[in-house]
């Protein structure tokens, strides 16, 4: 029996033979390796990357200033000018270069989507950790508030907040974030509760670790997976909601702001004569949301350490 143990002299120093001190495969690196082999992830990542690129490089890609109607544009109540060498996609209903509008719309969607999702994530996680870490009456109190928030349809909540705070980009962000808070809070709390009963949490408490350490370094990291996935998915939904709010007339108050939802509203009157005015922004919204959804799903699979090796 004793022969299996290395002599005590070898303890503490890395054994000389065998592989040299090479770093172990980290979770992130493993996830990255799995992501690269997943076609779904690649499609999602390409769509998201294209969206980010367009949003960041908007001034380079667009030939014109957004929201500024071109003089003598030839927009009539029955038709808009079609594609031409100067305007690859033609003009939109208000006489602005459509490509410019779409490109700047991506930027607008990105900013509002990312900021609102970050806000929603931060607030939702704070509530979720509070409920999941303490349990008892704190949990009950927090979750009842969250239940109330959940019982209001998210769009209705967003509409009320946007109406309450007036038309500004900030109110749009807050409105969308508020609708996300209960989702994140619930998800994180449920996920933490599932982890709290696990053996390694019991083992960690048996080692005398502080409650704070147990929650922060054992319960929370294991509970984050679903939340990260949800954040990616919600980012896609947020972009749809930005469009929906401005479609309802509750978006950014400035009519010059290029925004996909507003393009849809303006295209409504011309659906018969120029359907591409609605189809193109609609496609932008759909493709972007799809990209985030695909990426989110494959991220979930890749981040699962118990998944395939």
Partner 1 sequence: MSAVAPAGAAGPAGPATPSAEPPLLSVQDLSVTFTARRGSGRSEVRAVDGVSFDVRPGRVMALVGESGSGKSVTSLALTGLLPARGNRVEGRALFAGEDLLTVPRARLADLRGRELAMVFQDPMSSLNPVVPVGLQITEVVRRHTGAGRAAAKERAVELLGRVGIPDPRRRVREFPHQLSGGMRQRVMIAIALACDPRLVIADEPTTALDVTIQAQVIDLLSTLVREQGTAMLLITHDLGVVAGVCDDVTVMYAGRVVEQAPRRELFARPRHRYTAGLLASVPRLDGPRPERLTPIPGTPRDVVAWSEACAFAPRCTAGDDACRRGDLVLAPDAGAGAAPGHLVRCVHPAPVEQP
Buried/exposed 283-302: b ≥16 CB within 10 Å, e otherwise: ebbeebbebbbbbbbbbbbb
Among 60, 71, 208, 272, binds partner 1 (CB under 8 A): 208
Among 49, 164, 202, 279, binds partner 1 (CB under 8 A): 202
Among 198, 254, 268, 273, binds partner 1 (CB under 8 A): 198
According to the binding rule CB under 8 A, does residue 137 interact with partner 1?
A: no
Helices within 69-168 (DSSP H only): 98-134, 136-151, 154-165
- Tell whether the torsion through CA atoms of 155, 258, 53 and 118 is positive or negative: negative
Which region among 38-46, 139-147, 193-201, 264-272 touches partner 1 (by CB under 8 A)?
A: 193-201
Question: Which of 24/85 has CB closer to partner 1?
Answer: 24
- Total binding residues for partner 1 by CB under 8 A? 41
Rounded-to-integer distance, Cα 104 and Cα 56, Å: 9
According to the binding rule CB under 8 A, does residue 2 interact with partner 1?
A: yes
Tell me if 224 sits within 8 A of 124, measured CB to CB: no
Question: Which of 150/209 has CB closer to partner 1?
Answer: 209
> Which regions of 167-249 does DSSP assign to beta strands (E)?
none
CB of residue 276 vs partner 1: minimum separation in angstroms?
Answer: 48
CB of residue 236 vs partner 1: minimum separation in angstroms?
Answer: 26
Rounded-to-integer distance, Cα 231 and Cα 95, Å: 37
Among 34, 87, 186, 218, binds partner 1 (CB under 8 A): 218
CB of residue 125 vs partner 1: minimum separation in angstroms?
Answer: 17
Which region among 81-89, 201-209, 227-235, 267-275 touches partner 1 (by CB under 8 A)?
A: 201-209
According to the binding rule CB under 8 A, does residue 210 interact with partner 1?
A: yes
Which is nearest to 103 in space by CA: 294, 289, 263, 290?
263
Which is nearest to 300 in space by CA: 176, 212, 170, 191?
191
Among 157, 204, 294, 299, binds partner 1 (CB under 8 A): 204
Among 130, 203, 252, 272, binds partner 1 (CB under 8 A): 203
Task: Kindly calculate the radius of gyration of the chain based on its CA atoms and give it in whole angstroms.
Answer: 25
Among 76, 78, 151, 206, binds partner 1 (CB under 8 A): 206
Q: Which of residues 20-49 bind partner 1 (CB under 8 A)?
A: 21-27
Which is nearest to 190 in space by CA: 153, 135, 228, 272?
135
Query: Judging by beta carbons within 10 Å of its beta carbon (0-12, 13-18, 19+), is residue 15 exposed, middle or buried?
Result: exposed
Interface residue list for partner 1 (CB under 8 A): 1-2, 4-6, 8, 10-15, 18-19, 21-27, 198-200, 202-210, 213, 217-218, 221-222, 305-306, 309
């Amino acid at each position: 029996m004793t022969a299996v143990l290395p002599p005590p002299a070898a303890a503490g120093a890395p054994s000389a033979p065998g592989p040299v001190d090479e770093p172990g495969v980290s979770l992130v690196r493993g996830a990255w390796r799995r992501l690269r082999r997943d076609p779904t992830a690649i499609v999602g990542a390409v769509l998201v990357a294209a969206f980010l690129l367009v949003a960041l490089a908007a001034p380079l890609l667009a030939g014109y200033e957004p929201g500024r109607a071109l003089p003598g544009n030839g927009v009539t109540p029955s038709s808009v000018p079609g594609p031409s060498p100067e305007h690859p996609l033609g003009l939109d209903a208000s006489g602005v270069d459509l490509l410019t509008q779409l490109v700047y719309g991506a930027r607008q969607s990105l900013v509002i989507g990312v900021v609102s999702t970050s806000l929603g994530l931060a607030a939702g996680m704070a509530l979720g950790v509070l409920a999941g870490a303490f349990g008892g009456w704190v949990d009950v109190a927090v979750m009842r508030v969250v239940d109330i928030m959940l019982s209001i349809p998210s769009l209705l909540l967003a509409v009320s907040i946007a109406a309450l705070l007036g038309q500004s980009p900030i109110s749009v962000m807050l409105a969308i974030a508020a609708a996300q808070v209960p989702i994140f809070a619930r998800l994180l709390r449920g996920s933490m509760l599932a982890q709290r009963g696990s053996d390694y949490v019991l083992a960690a408490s048996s080692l005398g670790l502080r409650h704070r350490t147990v929650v922060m370094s054992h319960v929370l990291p294991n509970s984050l997976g679903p939340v990260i996935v949800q954040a990616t998915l919600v980012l896609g939904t947020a972009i749809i909601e930005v469009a929906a709010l401005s479609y309802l007339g509750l978006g950014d108050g400035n009519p010059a702001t290029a925004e996909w939802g507003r393009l849809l509203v303006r295209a409504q009157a011309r659906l018969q004569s120029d359907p591409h005015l609605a189809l193109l922004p609609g496609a932008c919204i759909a493709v972007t949301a799809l990209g985030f959804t695909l990426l989110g799903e494959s991220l979930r699979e890749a981040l699962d350490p118990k998944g395939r090796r």
